[in-house]
Amino acid sequence: MKVLSKLRNRGAAFAHDLMMIPIAWLGAYWLRFNLESIPNAFLEQGLRILPVVMLIQGAVFWYFGLYRGVWRFASMPDVVRITKAVIVGVATSAVVIFLMTRLVLVPRSVFPLYGIMLIALISGPRLAYRYLKDHKVYRNAGKKVLIVGAGRAGETLVRDLIRDRDHAYEPAAFVDDDRRKRGREIHGVRVVASCGSILKVVENAGIDLIMIAVPTATSAQMRNIVQLCEQTGIPFRTLPRLQDLVSGRASLNELKEVSIEDLLGREQVALDWDAISETINGKRVLVSGGGGSIGSELCRQIAHLGPETLIILEHGEHNLYAIELELQERYPNLSLSPVLGDVGDPVLVDDVLARHKPQIVFHAAAYKHVPLLEDQVRMAAVNNVLGTRNLASLCDNHGCEAFVMVSTDKAVNPKNVMGTTKRVAEIYCQNLNKSSRTRFITVRFGNVLASTGSVIPLFKQQIARGGPVTVTHPDIIRYFMTISEATQLILQASTMGEGGEIFVLDMGEPVKIAYLAGQMILLSGKQPGEDIEIVYTGLRPGEKLYEELFHDEESMSPTPHPKILKAASRDTAVVDIDQSIDRLRAACDQNETGEIENILKQLVPEHMMERVQHAGHNEAGGTVIEWKRNNP
């Protein structure tokens, strides 16, 4: 039935165009003779050669594919195709008619006039049909939509809404801060005001839904737009961020709810993809902790760059299975070797390095949950310190080209077990670099949005339960970046490291966790302090009000990339670090927690670990503080 319907539609379109040929041909004669009667001799000659014109022009129309398109979506490319077909048809007809009649009783001016009229008669009905469909059928058929942003994304969004067969939405107006666009129309939809007038436009135009079409907006701009949308009390949606569009994780026609990543995510990072690709492409790459938040995103980015082999070392069975399945589906030609195991297992790691011979190793495996590790000193030391030494030393033995360790801002002046163990791992890699052919590079950054164990998944769960949302302190602040940005900058740092450096990612401005909690409540459609309370519970063991990216003795220096800084290393004797870690291993083997803590303090003199005995805290006993919408 569909085939028959298509044939009928094509046949009707072809019949329409054939009917236009004699109208244009005789109309051209009429124009030639100044809209007066056509002399009989010229008219008879014109009628005699009309079948030839129709045969040639019809064949040319079919050859140019005028009937592959659909009138409903006729556009400028269709007009261009029609114009080309008419020009070729007119030129061919003129040559054939010249050979037949030597143009006796055939005015030469008839040909251009005929061409112009034919283009108008064929294009006009198509465009008129689309206009009627777009501007009459859908009017008042669905929810009225206000579109924020009259750029290319906004134009694409309006076009898609107009073409929607269900006519669920009616584009009513644009708002845009570009004064040059004010008063203009895009597909019949007017740009009526600036973004600051969103509330007024919503009230005056009876808007039902706001669609934010500004994928290039900075986080500050996005926060301002969202704040204006929140004041209207109606739903709002947004297009994906530019980062997601560029990476292929989303397309321009995908609307979604505004997420906290949209508000806290930062400007798109410009990367030297040529240098990154040269580092990764065709290389054997190993990622430890490849099933975690950072490790799995590293695997995705690396897989996209075409490595010879990607080896994923992960001790979590489910996490390893999930990332393997995802990469196999997205990159079917990728040479992938998943390995289930622990970085601290010397037999396993030695075997993996011997069999796969990785050239580049990204070490993302670590325990990172600060409060939990305060009472798990032994396991933190075993995984974060001994595991790092095992993997790093074996990479040195097997002659790997580069070892990139993923570290944290909590390693600077650490107040907790997690930060202290990561700092020891940094020291070990820096010292090993002095005697190794392998380049040992450390990359340090802050919190990652929506990573496993972060506050965002916790806040989402608490909001879903109806609250309260628990924040440890009203003044606590943290640095945030997206997982994608963090991993891409790790890859960038790996291209510029010569060995022994600590690269620190520019985390931008820190964000108040209270602001984060309030915004997430607002984005859920609730009001902080009214629908869902924010409860302040007090700092947890090992938690600081703020984190630092540099130690006082680590002088900052710029790198070729504006988002990556370099910290000058602090020397620690190789013998001391090796001997100390040997003692640490012995203490771990004997489960001597006090000795483990003493060794960590000796290795990290700035260590400010506070051993706090606690049986947990009562959320209901916290203080409820009214939340006000303020920028961080």
Which phi and psi (to 5°) does residue 311 adopt?
A: -105, 125
From 213, 397, 206, 391, select the one nearest 290 (Cα to Cα).
391
Q: Hey, how many other C-beta atoms are within 10 angstroms of the C-beta on 170? A: 18
At 30, which amino acid appears?
A: W
**Identified catalytic residue from 410, 422, 512, 566:** 410
In residues, how long is the chain? 632
Q: How far apart are CA 216 and CA 462, in angstroms?
A: 31
Look up 181 and say whether it is catalytic.
Answer: no
At 581, which amino acid appears?
A: I
- Its sign, for the CA torsion 457, 463, 466, 469, is positive
Residue 34 has, within 13 A of its CA and on its CB side, a CA count of 0
Q: How far apart are CA 631 and CA 193, in angstroms?
A: 24
CA 490 to chain centre: 17
Query: By CB neighbour count within 10 A (0-12 exposed, 13-18 middle, 19+ buried), where does 508 fall?
Result: middle
Q: How far apart are CA 272 and CA 270, in angstroms?
A: 7
- Its sign, for the CA torsion 131, 133, 139, 144, is negative
Strand partners, 481: 448
CB contact at 8 A, 255 and 147: no
Widest distance between CA atoms in the chain: 117
Which phi and psi (to 5°) does residue 448 adopt?
A: -115, 130
For tokens 């030597």, name the residue: 102
Tokens of 523: 């984005």
Catalytic residue set: 410
